Every structure is written in structure tokens, then in C-alpha cells.
Structure 1
Amino acid sequence: MSYTYIEYNFEIKPRDPGTEILLAELAELPFESFEETEDGLKAYIRKSEWQEDLLAEVAILDSPAFEVGYQFHEIPPENWNKKWETHFDPIELDNRCRVRAPFHEEKDVTYDIVIEPKMSFGTGHHETTYMMLQFLLDIPLEGQSVLDMGCGTAVLAILAAMKGAEEVDAIDIDHWSFLNSLENIKRNGQEQIEVFEGDVSAIPNKQYDVVLANINRNILLADIPAYAEHLRDRGKLLLSGFYEADSAVIDGVCKEAGLDYKTKLQKNSWTAVLYQKS
């Protein structure tokens, strides 16, 4: 199953902080991925989700403080795939972990992850995925049970399994991500990972030692209480997909759910946080 996407190319003056503001507003809409450029931002939305008045509520477009111009056009699936193959360089985290495409040469690292992302989010290039990989590298997972929410390519679930997690479940609402996760799991020899298609309601009726959620601010705010319910006592919740400016509201919901703040990572304007269930 494949989809046609619409690519928006935004030019913003001044670029900073205009790009950050625009991205935060577009994240409230059904855009699936973003790419920062020298002049601003590219944003991608499935054609089936597109409407003529899609940007009507994007306030920065009418702000006198910024000049924002944009163009948009359709991206057939085969062109999208060619695009990422052209620009996808391996991601390396010290000598511990490397995320690469099938056509990249293998190197001697502790965890060599092969990802063919196609339409899915999660190559490790985006700051949020990169930080989540950092977190996973630094916490013990041997014999643990792990849930990866909004798994995208399943790159986080795969790393958890490679690090010795005994039980790993991965969930994504997008059918393409569901299929791509299955492909990448098989490609990396981690078929013990169970993949489910759906939202938070698809979480199996059990608890986990570690829950991962690299999604977006609004979904996190709605679903953090459910994540907490599926955590064992002293279990860890790793969150990303939001800006540092949203940390306070995320923290408030986590505290209400009985979660204690432990530490965080920052990369550019993005944040990843680690909480533990009391």
C-alpha cells in the first residue's frame, strides 16, 4: 500500500525563530514529517489529508513580524523513495550505534541497524529520534519489556531488542509504518518484536518496564496517562517529539500521572525527557 504526498516548501524571513514557530503550528495539522532547509522548511502531508483551507489557521502566515512564502506540489511515492535514497547518510552515535540504509557499507559498531524508511518517520536523522536512540543506549534493557509507541520505522524497538530486551511491542497508527516496521524488523533479524496497527487503544493489556513515545506534543499530552498505566512500578517513560518550550506542560501531565522527572536531552530546539513511575 502506498500514498501520494503533498510537499510544501516554505521560505521564511527571518528564518530564526520563524522556522521554529511555523513548525510548531504545522505540527498541529496532519503533516507527517518536516525537513529544515537553508531558507525555511519543507513539510509533507498525505494527499488524502489535504484540504484547500489547510493553512487557514496558521497564524505566522499573517504575522507582520515575518515574511512567509510557500509553494506546494504532489510527490508520487516512487519519487519520495528516490529522494531519501539520495539524501540518506548513515547516522552514527559514537561507535555504539549506526543507523544505515541497505545500500550503505557495513561498519564495525556495537549495534548496526539497517532501516529502509520509505514513507515512515524514524531514520535517526531527526533530532527527536536521535535523542531517543541516545537514551536507549544509556539505559539497561537486558531482560526488560519495552513498548514503542508511534514506532514509525521501528528503529527504537529494534535497538531495544538488540540490547537484550526480552519482550518488545511496537505500535503505529499509520498502515504504511506498520508494514515498514515489519520489513525492518525482519531485515534486522529481530522477529521477536510484535507490531500492532492502531493508536493508544491498541496497547496490549499488560505492563512494561520501559515505554517509548516519540510522537508529537498533542498526542503525548492526551496519551501520557495511558502510558503511565501500562508502566510497572519504577518503570521508565521516554518521551520526545516536542520543543523545549513545551517541556513545562508535558511535565505537568507527567506529574499528574504519577511520574517523576529524571533527566532530559536537548538538540537544537527539540527535547527528549526521561520519567520514572513512582
Structure 2
Amino acid sequence: MSAIYLEFDFKVSPKTPFTDILMAELGSVGFESFEETEEGLMGYIQKEFWNENALQDLYSFENPLVEISYEQREVEQVNWNEEWEKNFDPIVVDGRCTVRAPFHEKATTEYEVIIEPKMSFGTGHHETTHMMIQLLLDTDLKEKDVLDMGCGTGVLAILAEKLGARHADAIDIDRWCYENSLENVERNSCRNIDVYEGDANLLEGKEYDVVIANINRNILLQDLEKYAAVLRKGGVLLLSGFYEDDIPILKEKCSSLKLNFTQKLEKNLWVALKFLNLRQIH
């Protein structure tokens, strides 16, 4: 018997960047799939898992900077993979790295990452992932130990290995992301990546040359001390998942940890920052 789904048609104004924020929040309350529209996005959740109060506590609906309205209806089960394949095109970053799905033709760029994201974030289409790929392409990773914190699909850890990293740990608190990363690591024939389900508490006793954290501002501020504690002297910290307005507070926190700001990228209001560790870990 086919599952019954609820289809939500969300109207979001302004659409950028709030559609991406809403999508992330909806994923945290059980929505399984999304499709971007001209006015916002369509979201789908199984009827049996729907909670009428699920949307009330979401930040997006309380944010005075955005207006969100929606309509809902029941639909029969959708073949999500088929719908996803219709809408997912390969991306090429700086002419050097292609992120594609298994059903796309083999890439001709220097680097290629094959990703089947399912419900996880990290196809390279989102601005933050795109910028992190750019930063990684310009970072010397040969024989380096790398941490991909909030790994999503595992795309950044996979690229790190392809760029010569000695070893990478990929960590995400979300079970679906953990499982998806395992699948994508195997799909790319990676041999030097360990995937973990959990948070920054897993970092105790670890050391890395490069730490990647593409998460949201609040989690970054909460966990920056833990990232700094495992980053070797001269190591590189790459941060994204936030906006231009968030830069001062993040730079101030990093400065207090003797992390020296060196580079900024910006794409459609999203930003990515690069820092160097000037202190010795203890």
C-alpha cells in the first residue's frame, strides 16, 4: 500500500536566502523531499509523521525579515529518486572539480566527486558547499589529516582525499547524513575516510591539519573552541553556513582563539572564511 504524503506549497518572500534556511528547518522536523519553485518551495512529509504544531516553533516563521505562507494537500507516494534526477544537474567549480550524480556522464575536469544526496545536504549546488569546494581546491592537502564537521553527503571529505589528504574524518549528527556519507565514500572508492555519527564531543584526543565546518552560526560559535583545540599549529580552519552580518562575531571568537583570518568568499549573501592557527595545541 502506498504511503500518503502531505504536500506543502510554501511561498517565501524574499526568496533568497530564506528558502534555503526554511528547507533546512523543515528537514529537521520530518520533511523528506523538496522542490524549488518560482515563489519558494514544495515540501513533502508522510502524513503519519506530520505534527500540526511542527511549524510553530521554526525560526523562519518568527523571523520579521521574511514572509512565509503555505497551502497543503494529500498526495500519493512520489518516486523521489526519479523527481530528484529530473532536477539535479552536475556542477563544475572553477573549471577544476565536477560534482555529479551516478547517472551523469563521467566528468572531464581534474577532480570528480560522485554524490547521491538523497535527503542529505551537499550536492555542491548550495552556495556554502560551492565556496568550501573552492577553498579546498586552493588549499594544500597533500598528506594532511582533515576533519569534515557537519559532513552532510561527505562531499568535502571525499574531495579532500582526492586532493591528496592522508586521512579524513567525516562527522554529522544526523543519522541520514551519516548513512549517506558512508554510501558516497564507498561510491567514490575512498579508502582513507572514517565516517562518524555524532557531534564535536567526538573530537577529544584528535589532531588535524585542516578543519572544515559548514554548519550554522550558532553551532560554530558553540564549537569553535573544540575545533581550535584539535587544529595543529599552522593548520587551516574553513568555515561556512552563515551570512555577511555574522562575520564580525565569528572573527572575534576566532581571534580570541588565536585563529588568524586570511580569506573571505561571498556568494548570494552566504560567506565562507579561512583562518590559520597561530598557536600550538595542548
State whether structure 2 residue 27 is matched by structure 1 residue 20. no
Partner residue in 2 for 1:125: 125
TM-score (norm 2): 0.83
| CA shift in 2, pair 1:77/1:275, >3 Å | farther
Query: Judging changes above 3 Å, is the alpha-carbon distance between structure 1 residues 101 and 206 closer, same or farther for their aligned structure 2 residues?
Result: same
Deviation at 1:5, TM superposition (A): 8.7
C-alpha offsets along residues 190-243 of structure 1, whole Å, 9 cap, x if unaligned?
Answer: 122111111111225221010001111221111111111110111111011111
Aligned equivalent of 1:101: 101
Residues 67/265 of structure 1: CA separation in 2 closer, same or farther (3 Å cut): closer
- Specify the code of the residue in structure 2 equivalent to 1:20: P
Q: In the aligned structure 1, how far is the partner of 2:220 from the partner of 2:77?
A: 29
Matched residue, 1:145: 145
Q: Secondary structure at the match of 1:236?
A: strand
1:71 matched to 2:59? no
1:179 maps to 179
- d(CA) in 1 for partners of 2:226 and 2:156? 20
Indicate the residue corresponding to 2:136 in structure 1.
Answer: 136
Aligned to 1:157: 157
Q: Which is worse superposed, 26-35 or 167-176?
A: 26-35
Q: Is the 8 A contact 1:28 1:218 kept in 2?
A: no
Is contact 1:19–1:40 with CA below 8 Å preserved after alignment?
Answer: no
1:80–1:119 Cα contact (<8 Å) kept: no
The 8 Å contact of residues 208 and 232 in structure 1, kept in 2 or not, is answered as yes
What letter matches 1:257 in structure 2? Answer: L
Pairing 1:26-37 to 2, within 5 Å after superposition: 30=28, 37=37
State which drifts further: 97-106 or 188-197.
188-197
Task: Report the counterpart of residue 262 of structure 2 in structure 1.
Answer: 262
- 1:20-64 CA distances to partner (integer Å, 9 max, x unpaired)? 357657867736897754213456789898643333356775789
Asked whether 1:240 is paired with 2:240, we answer: yes
Partner of residue 82, structure 1: 82
Query: Measured at CA, do residues 63 and 214 of structure 1 come closer, stay the same or move farther in structure 2, by a change above 3 Å?
Result: closer
Name the % identity: 51
Alpha-carbon distance in 1 for matches of 2:220, 2:123: 21
Question: In the TM superposition, what is the alpha-carbon distance from 1:71 to its structure 2 partner?
Answer: 2.6
1:225 alignment partner in structure 2: 225
How many matched pairs? 272
Aligned to 2:214: 214
Call closer, same or farther: CA 1:7–1:203 in 2, change over 3 Å.
farther
**In 2: Cα distance, 1:8 partner to 1:213 partner:** 31
- CA shift at 1:266, angstroms? 0.5
Contact between 1:19 and 1:41, CA under 8 Å: does it hold in 2?
no
Deviation for aligned residue 1:269: 1.0
Name the amino acid aligned to 1:153.
Answer: T
Q: Distance in 1 between matches of 2:191 and 2:77?
A: 27
8 Å contact from structure 1 (residues 5, 45) kept in 2: yes
CA distance in 1, matches of 2:227, 2:43: 28
Q: Which range moves more in the overlay, 252-261 or 149-158?
A: 252-261
Q: Measure the CA separation in 2 of the matches of 1:129 and 1:76.
A: 33
CA drift at 1:82: 2.5
Distance in 2, matches of 1:215 and 1:78, equals 30
Deviation at 1:85, TM superposition (A): 1.4
Match of 1:202 in 2: 202
CA contact (8 A) 2:94 2:134 kept: no
Distance 2:108 2:229 in 1: 39
**Structure 2: 5+ residue stretches without partners:** none
Aligned amino acid, residue 187 of structure 1: R
The Cα offsets for residues 60-96 of structure 1, whole Å up to 9 and x where unpaired, read as: 7578987532134689986333322111100101331
Give the residue type in structure 2 aligned to 1:214: N
Q: Give distance in 1, aligned partners of 2:131 and 2:232.
A: 23
